[in-house]
A and B are shown apart, each in its own frame.
Chain A
Amino acid sequence: MGCRLNYLKNVVSLKLNREKCTGCALCTDVCPRGVLHIQNHKVEIINRDRCIECGACSTNCAFNAISVKSGVGCAQAFINAIITGGEPECGCSKNGRSSSGCC
């Protein structure tokens, strides 16, 4: 069933700078979507469309080798932003994206 849960194609803003990558693999640890993979001691994007732009990889790369325009993929956030004129921010008081058993 997991394979059916894919979002739009070719929208993701994920970018790599392979020059800077040291192959430490922390980004592959934190990615919850299996987007990244280490090949020949360098990071590689293997599932671009699965990326949810959470920013875990870029925040944790000590070498600035990954960038992504991160944010919450939440329509309500945009609607709130339009109404209040502020930044898109998810109400996210919703139990929302954290699945039931997670910590």
Chain B
Amino acid sequence: MTSLDCNKPETKSCGCSSGSGKKMLIPAIPPVDKWGHIKCRISDKFRMNYAVEPGLYSIGNPGESSPVLVTANYRLACDHLRKAMEKSSAWVLVIDTKGINVWCAAGKGTFGTSELINRINCTKLDTIVKHRSLILPQLGAPGVSAHKVTKATGFSISYGPILANDIPAYLEAGKEATADMRTIKFPLRDRMILTPIEFFAALRKYVWLILGLMVFMGIESSGILIKPAFVNSWPLIISGLISVITGSVLFPVLLPFIPFRSFALKGMILGIIVIIPSLLFYDKIYYGNPFLASASILFNITLISFIALNFTGSTPFTNISGVKREMKFSVPVYISMCIISSILLIIFKLQKWGVV
């Protein structure tokens, strides 16, 4: 048994922490390898299966008066904490958030009041430390009612800084975080880190569009032909791919520098800037056809704006009321643009067949 887990029915009272020699039984927080970090950034599935078992862990050589830090059983969070506290000793109470990071889990309530109370009780934390205080990550606050936890367990809660790296300074200052430590930031580096996930998520959906496009291009009066499907589609496939990259990589990186506050509008602006120059290759990409060109340009701008709007969920400065308002005006616009674009494409096709 490597950790204290209340979820397994056979360990009802987490039998492993009773009696003497508690310290010996409490494992150090497990390190994570570089490759694991990278895979976590690319694959959602991998990250899910890479969770830390909930329970109590140690960093260094903690005693009964060492601080207790609470975190999610999200592997990267545990690892950041381990690294930040490298030079000190502390207890780490890992609560079960199904492998999801603190912020998202707090929003869903899995990093929450009842799970925390449950985990305090089942690890018998009160027998391990003398003091009655916990340090929670500030970003866990949306999910946890500090006063309710105190009422139920006797443990009082202090909210630590946002970044694990600031914890030593926070502890040194007597559990005081500066305003700067308390403010969420979204620097270029963080925006870049998100781009692989955004890109692969968008790409997976784009594959279907490519297939649809190829079928459409391949439709001839004599049936679906393979050769025109490939030959006629590839310039459009590439411009679509450019849109996917623009929406999922370029947009997050340029986010603060694109005018307007609305993500849908920002996306549209960026889309226009990126897609309009394709007209320089009017003959190559669009076969000199105005219907095909306008259909493709309209569609790509819509696509970029849509991917951009989706990025609202990944930024720490949007809010639900704002997203609702954005959706209200942008979704009808997207739908109309897609309809217009489809009509233009059909006209292009009919023209090719010599119907119009």
Contact = CB atoms under 8 A, between A and B. Distances in A.
A102 B310 contact: no
Contacts of A7: 261, 317-319, 322
A11 B325 contact: yes
Interface in A26-78: 26, 29-34, 50-56, 59-60, 62, 69-78
Interface string B88-124: 0000000000001111101110000000000000000
A5 B101 contact: no
B126 interface: no
A33 B143 CA distance: 17
B316 interface: yes
Given A73-B312, A75-B313, A95 B101 contact: yes
Contacts of A59: 141-145
Contact of A5 (B81, B137, B255): B255
Interface in B297-356: 309-310, 312-327
Interface residues of A, number: 55
B320 A102 contact: no
Contacts of B131: none
Contacts of B261: 6-9
A43 to B, nearest CB: 15
Most buried by B among A75, A76, A93, A103: A103
A31 B77 contact: no
Interface in B44-79: 44, 47-48, 69, 71-72, 76-77
A62 B197 CA distance: 38
A90 interface: yes
B84 to A, nearest CB: 8
A11 to B, nearest CB: 4
Given A75-B309, A93-B100, A102-B163, A13 B321 contact: yes
A100 B189 contact: yes
Interface string B265-278: 00000000000000
Most buried by A among B100, B321, B322: B321
Contacts of B146: 26, 60, 62
B158 to A, nearest CB: 8
Contact of B164 (A9, A33, A90, A103): A103
Interface stretch (B177-185, B219-227, B236-244, B281-289): B177-185
Nearest to B148: A62
Contacts of B263: 75
B162 interface: yes
Contacts of A95: 40-41, 47, 76, 101, 193-194, 197
Contact of B138 (A32, A72, A97): A32
B54 to A, nearest CB: 15
Contacts of A96: 101, 103-104, 194, 313-314
B44 A94 contact: yes
B3 interface: no
A91 to B, nearest CB: 8
Given A8-B325, A30-B138, A32-B139, A90 B163 contact: no
Interface of A: 1-2, 4-9, 11-13, 26, 29-34, 50-56, 59-60, 62, 69-79, 88-103
20 contacts: A2-B186, A5-B255, A12-B322, A29-B177, A30-B141, A31-B182, A34-B179, A50-B317, A56-B141, A60-B144, A69-B320, A75-B323, A90-B104, A93-B104, A95-B101, A97-B316, A98-B101, A100-B190, A102-B101, A103-B167
Interface of B: 40-41, 44, 47-48, 69, 71-72, 76-77, 80-81, 84, 100-104, 106-108, 137-139, 141-147, 159, 162-165, 167, 177, 179, 182-187, 189-190, 193-194, 197, 201, 255-257, 261-263, 309-310, 312-327
